[in-house]
């Protein structure tokens, strides 16, 4: 949900209610979920209620304890906050789009607050607001008063700006990330840069590249300097973003860790390995479409059934192998369980070498 409010606004945290006061107004109320995905879990609903100044009894409970000059943005830091990709797609990028016009002069009121998440992305948040992020759910006994506020965040689709949006762009967001983490490289393969650096994002539990060592070897044969990175290393965003920014290309199997492509310099190449199971729609929504707007070249390698560990578990006539769309019809939980959480890939090195060679040509002739 998303709405903008102006007037005499009073926020009562202990009732999760935003009151809008006016002289002549009909009492009314509605519920909003201040998160970009309506079906998300762990997101508290807020109530917006209009109140007339004539309602003396209610007004007496809403005396301002905190008066603010800045406008406010109230949002939920819950939902998919624990997923690295969704930290950017559901929270940081929408926060950027929503707060851009205020140039830092805005208060962030975070519901479903998680201190570790705020701390993890503190450098980005400091670029968006000049004030500390408020844990609004725990402002018990206080009434925060504003003249203007936004409830919820602007969202078009994952890491994609609405074509009619003014002033914001994914390019500006990527520059904001560079500024946040003091990343030096804006463009890949600058003059004097001889050997392209390829980051391989390694997974250790699900969607593992079984023959990773072979991929490293063939990448070196093609001419890359290989940087092997465990996606868990991204817990330290500041350090990991610098490593990513030092690379000219990134590859890995579809997963949250690939969100680090945001830190790649312009003209870099991003290679997404898509697991078996007709998962092209996931690849497009999460990475292909967003990357196409980022001055990053996108290549895709789709694993065949022979490369999938599922071929060792299911017979060739099983619907999992023969008819993946029949599994899709069972819903997201079935897709996730079968094709994302229980599949590893042994990459056909000879076939994948063609993708690495194509990426190299793009880097050397951009």
Extract the tokens encoding 356.
């690495």
Strand 46-52 to 28-32 pairing: antiparallel
Considering the domain 197-364, what is its CATH architecture?
3-Layer(aba) Sandwich (3.40)
Beta-bridge mates of residue 301: 273
Q: What's the confidence (pLDDT) of residue 192?
A: 64
Place of tokens 């578990």: 313
Q: Give the tens place of pLDDT for each residue, 325-351.
A: 999 999 999 999 999 999 999 999 999
DSSP alpha helix (H) spans, the chain: 56-59, 84-86, 93-99, 115-120, 122-128, 170-180, 212-222, 237-245, 280-283, 289-291, 319-322, 324-328, 332-335, 349-364
Residue 134 in contact with residue 110, Cβ under 8 Å?
yes
pLDDT greater than 70 at residue 191: no
Q: What's the confidence (pLDDT) of residue 218?
A: 98
Question: Across all residues in the chain, what is the average pLDDT?
Answer: 95
Q: Give the tens place of pLDDT for each residue, 260-312.
A: 999 999 999 999 999 999 999 998 899 999 998 999 999 999 999 999 999 99
Helix (H, G, I), strand (E, B) or coil at 314: coil
Extract the tokens encoding 272.
């997404």
Closest by Cα among 248, 298, 19 to 151? 19
Closest by Cα among 119, 121, 95 to 108? 95
Q: Predicted confidence band at 241 (pLDDT cuts at 50, 70, 90)?
A: very high
pLDDT greater than 90 at residue 165: no
CATH 3.40.50-classified regions of the chain: 197-364
pLDDT greater than 80 at residue 366: no
* CA dist., res. 351 & res. 344, Å (int): 17
Average pLDDT over residues 196-216: 96
Average pLDDT over residues 197-206: 95
State percent of the chain over pLDDT 90.
Answer: 87
Q: Predicted confidence band at 193 (pLDDT cuts at 50, 70, 90)?
A: low
State percent of the chain over pLDDT 70.
Answer: 99
Residue 334 in contact with residue 327, Cβ under 8 Å?
yes
pTM of the model: 0.94
Q: What's the confidence (pLDDT) of residue 164?
A: 77
């Amino acid at each position: 949900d998303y709405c903008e409010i102006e007037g005499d606004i009073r926020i009562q945290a202990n009732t999760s209610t935003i009151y809008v006061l006016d002289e002549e107004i009909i009492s009314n109320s509605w519920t909003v979920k201040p998160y970009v995905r309506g079906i998300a879990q762990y997101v508290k609903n807020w109530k917006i209620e209009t109140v007339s100044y004539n309602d003396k009894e209610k007004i007496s409970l809403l005396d301002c304890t905190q008066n603010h000059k800045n406008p406010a943005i109230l949002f939920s830091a819950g939902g998919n906050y624990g997923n690295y990709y969704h930290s950017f797609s559901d929270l940081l990028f929408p926060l950027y789009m929503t707060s851009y016009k205020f140039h830092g002069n805005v208060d962030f009121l975070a519901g479903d607050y998680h201190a570790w998440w705020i701390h993890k992305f503190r450098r980005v948040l400091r670029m968006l607001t000049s004030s500390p992020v408020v844990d609004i759910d725990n402002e018990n006994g206080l009434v925060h008063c504003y003249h203007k506020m936004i409830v919820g965040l602007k969202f078009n689709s994952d890491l994609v700006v609405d074509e009619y949006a003014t002033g914001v762009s994914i390019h500006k967001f990527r520059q904001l990330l560079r500024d946040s983490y003091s990343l030096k490289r804006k463009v890949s393969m600058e003059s004097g840069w001889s050997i392209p650096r390829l980051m391989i994002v390694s997974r250790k539990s699900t969607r593992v590249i079984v023959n990773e060592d072979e991929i490293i070897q063939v990448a070196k044969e093609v001419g890359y300097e290989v940087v092997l990175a465990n996606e868990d290393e991204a817990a330290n965003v500041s350090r990991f973003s610098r490593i990513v920014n030092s690379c000219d290309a990134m590859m890995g199997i579809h997963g949250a860790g690939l969100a680090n492509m945001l830190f790649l310099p312009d003209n870099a190449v991003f290679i997404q390995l898509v697991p078996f199971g007709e998962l092209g729609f996931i690849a497009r929504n999460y990475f292909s479409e967003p990357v196409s707007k980022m001055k990053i070249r996108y290549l895709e390698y789709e694993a065949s059934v022979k490369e999938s560990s599922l071929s060792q578990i299911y017979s060739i006539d099983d619907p999992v192998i023969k008819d993946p769309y029949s599994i899709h019809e069972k819903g997201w939980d079935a897709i996730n369980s079968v094709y994302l959480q229980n599949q590893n890939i042994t990459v056909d090195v000879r076939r994948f070498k063609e993708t690495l060679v194509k990426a190299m040509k793009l880097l050397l002739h951009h």
